[in-house]
Structure 1
């Protein structure tokens, strides 16, 4: 976890696996008509990307005069298949920790809407930013490839009988996945993290209900997707369930660790048709 501050004393964190580089702030071209939190367009080895004033995006301040950015840094990250920069006041340090050290955020409003977890470090609270939500509001990616998914009435009827569990700590991600599954006639059950998913799976099993496929995020507080997968593979009741890890991390990294943890497949967020195709493949449906 990379720790940093914005324009205040609160410490924030972001997963280092998302980070490409950290550079000093420099003047850049503005983007007319863009969200006010986007302060300009920068380039990394020729590839353009938006730079977001993270303090403004979290609703903590309005975008400041560029003169106040002089001693700031830009965290360049790769997230959901795209590059973006985050303007921060000061980069602090990198700390190693497991996702079990991260607790769910308090139920609140304001900037806590953009926090996916909290960590207690040396009696100080670090807030882990829900980058997915920030990007969706400030610089939303293109959602669809336009290919569409074509299914017969017989396939749709069969799919309606399938039970899929979606595990993700981001409410936005759960909504996106749910909307995708609705395209193929599936109404999933939901869990906020791996720990809650395990409890729900055991409850469903006790009722005699079988989950046909699990779509799980990787980065979640209390229990991450890799740990959830390993726990399920050790349990004879769930050892054979199809697990698709759906993540904002870079594809090569996530697929390698997904295989090692026992998952059947990994997919980088978020393209509607690709997720639908992956689900159909996991359910053994030709289309």
Structure 2
């Protein structure tokens, strides 16, 4: 598992093709869960953990791994399940999210699968607002639950969503009442974070839950205005990982459509690893921002709004 990541060239072959790879694992029991391989640095047997005073109860302890001290989160407890026992015989998934590195304690690791985002669906509505799922898919006729890691991290380490006064008061040289900023993210936590950060710009926000919803909205807008959407929706802030259609594929679709191609696409993602710059360049996105820094996001949106009149 230590060699779980391949070269940039191999990985980027999937970009814009709406494909993903999932690492499947177990928590307590036979149910399998998934995490995007792009977020995984390595998987290893659980190392010796050191308890820390006054730690969050979801954190088992810290481990010294490859020169770094990393917090290890009991992923079963973090999703409302029982604490994992027999820790010395469990595994840790080392991952990179939102500019931070953390380890997730899991019961066991199954395998890596290659699938298509079209086969990944939002969780059923009956799961409720408190479910820690961002999507589901089917493997071997069994449902795989894809965990909303951003929500788990927000519970443990809440992100600051306040934009500084300096950024909030920066000049925007466009008529705000004529514009809409489109936001696309499948995580309810991320959508709320983005909305709170961008509400300071005092511009209408339109929110969608996946790339297909966003693309359908933009194409409908093109029909409505009879041409280029850019003067009306100049900026799209999109997540990358989304069911049905991911952000890379959404970007490629937008840049290939003459009525949409002038829209400035900001990919705003927890995928903060080494592969992203190559991916962003390949699909033609205008910006890439790792989650979550409200000033950086608001500044990028302001920049592309002002580009409307350049």
**Shared topology, TM-score over 0.5?**
yes
Q: TM-score, normalised by structure 2?
A: 0.84
Spell out the pairing of 1:105-254 with structure 2 (5 A cutoff).
105-109=123-127, 113-141=131-159, 148-151=166-169, 155=172, 158-208=175-225, 210-250=232-272, 252-254=274-276
Q: Which of 75, 79, 96 is the equivalent residue of 1:78?
A: 96
User: 2: CA distance between counterparts of 1:86 and 1:10?
Assistant: 17
Aligned residue among 68, 81, 92 for 1:60: 81
How do 1:22-101 and structure 2 match up within 5 A? 22-61=43-82, 63-64=83-84, 68-101=86-119
Normalised by the size of structure 1, how large is the TM-score? Answer: 0.90
Deviation readout 1:31-88 (Å, 9 max, x if unpaired): 3222211111112222222111000000022x355xx212100101011100100000
Match of 2:278 among 256, 260, 264: 256
Q: CA RMSD in A?
A: 2.3
CA contact (8 A) 1:35 1:139 kept: no
Give ranges in structure 1 of 5+ residues lacking alignment. Answer: none
Structure 1: distance between partners of 2:192 and 2:41: 28
Distance 1:241 1:207 in 2: 16
Gap change, CA 1:257 and 1:39, over 3 Å in 2? same
Q: For 1:267-286, list aligned pairs within 5 A.
A: 267-284=289-306
| Structure 2: unaligned runs, 5 residues or longer | 1-21
Do the aligned partners of residues 156 and 267 (structure 1) sit closer, same or farther apart at CA in structure 2, a change above 3 Å counting? same
Residues 29, 111 of structure 1: alpha-carbon distance in 2 compared, 3 angstrom cutoff: farther
Provide the C-alpha distance between the structure 2 equivalents of 1:82 and 1:169, rounded to a whole number of angstroms: 20
- Relative distance call for 1:274 and 1:251 in structure 2 (3 A) is farther
- Taking the aligned partners of 2:165 and 2:42, their CA distance within structure 1 comes to 34
Could you say if the C-alpha distance between residues 111 and 182 of structure 1 is closer, same or farther in structure 2, counting changes exceeding 3 Å? closer
Misfit runs of 4+, over 4 Å: 141-148
Does structure 1 residue 5 correspond to structure 2 residue 26?
A: yes
1:177 aligns to what SS in structure 2? helix
| Alpha-carbon distance between aligned partners in 1 of 2:224 and 2:99, rounded to the nearest angstrom | 39
Say which is worse superposed, 201-210 or 33-42, in terms of deviation: 201-210
Deviates more, 1:123-132 or 1:108-117: 108-117
Aligned-pair CA distance for 1:15:
0.6
| DSSP 3-state at the match of 1:3 | strand
Compared with structure 1, are the counterparts of its residues 14 and 33 closer, same or farther at alpha carbon in structure 2 (3 Å cutoff)?
Answer: same
User: CA 1:147–1:111 in 2, change beyond 3 Å: closer, same or farther?
Assistant: closer
